[in-house]
Each structure stands twice: as C-alpha cells, then as structure tokens.
Structure 1
C-alpha cells in the first residue's frame, strides 16, 4: 500500500477554519502511526472531528449567504458519509479498509478541498466580514 504524504495545512486566514485544518492533519499523522486498537478508536474520533469541522463551515456559509453553499455542503456530506461507512467497517474489525482510506484517499482529497472550496469560502468570508 502506497500512502500519499500527509498534507501540510495551508493557512487561509480564518482562525477557526485554519485551526480545524491543522487538527485534521494532526489526526492523519496519528492515524498513520496507530496500531489496530488505537486506529479503531482514533478513526472514530477523526469522524467526529470532521463532523464538527464541516458543521462549523456549513454554519459560516449559511450566515454569510455563501453562493456556492450547496456544492460545498454536498462535498462535506459525501466525505462524511464515506467516513461513517468506513467507521462501521473499522469498528467491525476491518481496519485495513479504514487505514487504506486514511492513507490513500483523505490526503489528496484534503489538499484539493482546501485549495479550491475552502480557499474560495474564506475569500468570501473576508469580503463578508463574517
């Protein structure tokens, strides 16, 4: 299994969003090194983190009348749905499925999401002063 390098979070200039991105990358590092039992627990914690992380962004989008809210929220829902499905597999003992997802899929998704969707959101928030 070839893993992608853990992304270095870009600073977009929004304290809460940048903090969530930093925390997400820290979870990826922890999960990469986690043993089977630790991985199961930490995968659940990462899923919970993403739920809160996405909800914060979703709230900011609604508060600021972000024009791309539907698409951005849809991407959050898609990834959170994947995390929930993988969490069920991981908790049933199929750790390799979750590990492959964390190492092979999440880093690339995160880089793309931050540099496109989140960067556009933060620019909108700066203009809206939210």
Structure 2
C-alpha cells in the first residue's frame, strides 16, 4: 500500500489538495488500527472526511472550468456512494464488510486516483490558477 502522506506521488503541490490527502491517509491508518466501537466511529469519520474532501475538489474543478470535471466528479460520487453503503453496514454491526473495503480496496483506489485524476487536476490548476 502506497497510501503514505510522505510518498512523493501523494504530494501534488497544491496546499489544499495535499492537506486533504494527508488527512485521508492519517484517518485510514487510524481506521486500520481500530476495532469495535472505535472502528465504527472512525469509519463514519472517514466517510464524512471523503465527502468534504471531494466537495472541495469538485468546487475547485467548477471554479476553474476544469475540462475533465464530469469524469472526476463521477469517480468521487461512485466512491462516496460505496463508502455510504458500507457505513450503513458497519453501523448495523457488519464491520467485516467495511473493514475489508476500507483496508483492501480503498487504498489502491486512492493511490491510483491521486496519481492520475488528482495529478491532472493539480497540473491544470497550476496553469490556470483561480
């Protein structure tokens, strides 16, 4: 798993986006170490963080006129929908489903998303600052 806030490909050179990526990786590490009620609470907090994180990126894309915003937003919506569905399962006591998704699927998705979609967004923002 490359999801480490100090890994160069996760630091893209945009203060707000890099801060969100760092917060995500910290929350994911805390979730990995959590169990029981703490896991349930932290899963919810991670879901809330992603909603806020994605909304900040979506806002940047809208304000800047980013041409690939529909695809990028769609990916945000897909992952947030999955997290929301798993959150409901976790809160209903089916923690194993949420743990497997958050710790086995989400890190790889995040690494790929950052190195492709977010990297392209940051490059666009550097050329066309708000």
User: How does the TM-score come out when normalised to structure 2?
Assistant: 0.95
How many residues matched?
126
Q: Is the 8 A contact 1:6 1:25 kept in 2?
A: no
How big is each residue's C-alpha offset from its partner over 1:12-47, in whole Å with a ceiling of 9 and x where there is no partner?
A: 000000000000000110000001110000000000
The corresponding residue for 2:112 is 112
Distance (whole Å) between structure 1 residues aligned to residue 46 and residue 2 of structure 2 = 15
How big is each residue's C-alpha offset from its partner over 1:76-115, in whole Å with a ceiling of 9 and x where there is no partner?
A: 0000000000000000000000000011101100000000
Distance 1:39 1:6, change over 3 A: farther
Distance (whole Å) between structure 2 residues aligned to residue 117 and residue 25 of structure 1 = 17
Q: Which structure 2 residue ranges, 5 or more long, are not aligned?
A: none
Distance (whole Å) between structure 1 residues aligned to residue 97 and residue 17 of structure 2 = 28
Distance (whole Å) between structure 2 residues aligned to residue 70 and residue 129 of structure 1 = 19
Distance (whole Å) between structure 1 residues aligned to residue 30 and residue 52 of structure 2 = 19
The corresponding residue for 2:51 is 51
Distance (whole Å) between structure 2 residues aligned to residue 115 and residue 78 of structure 1 = 18
Aligned: 1:103 with 2:103: yes
4+ aligned runs moved over 2 Å, structure 1: none
Distance (whole Å) between structure 1 residues aligned to residue 127 and residue 40 of structure 2 = 41
User: How does the TM-score come out when normalised to structure 1?
Assistant: 0.95
The corresponding residue for 2:92 is 92
RMSD of the alignment, in Å? 0.8
Q: Give secondary structure in 2 for the equivalent of 1:8.
A: coil
Distance (whole Å) between structure 2 residues aligned to residue 8 and residue 88 of structure 1 = 27
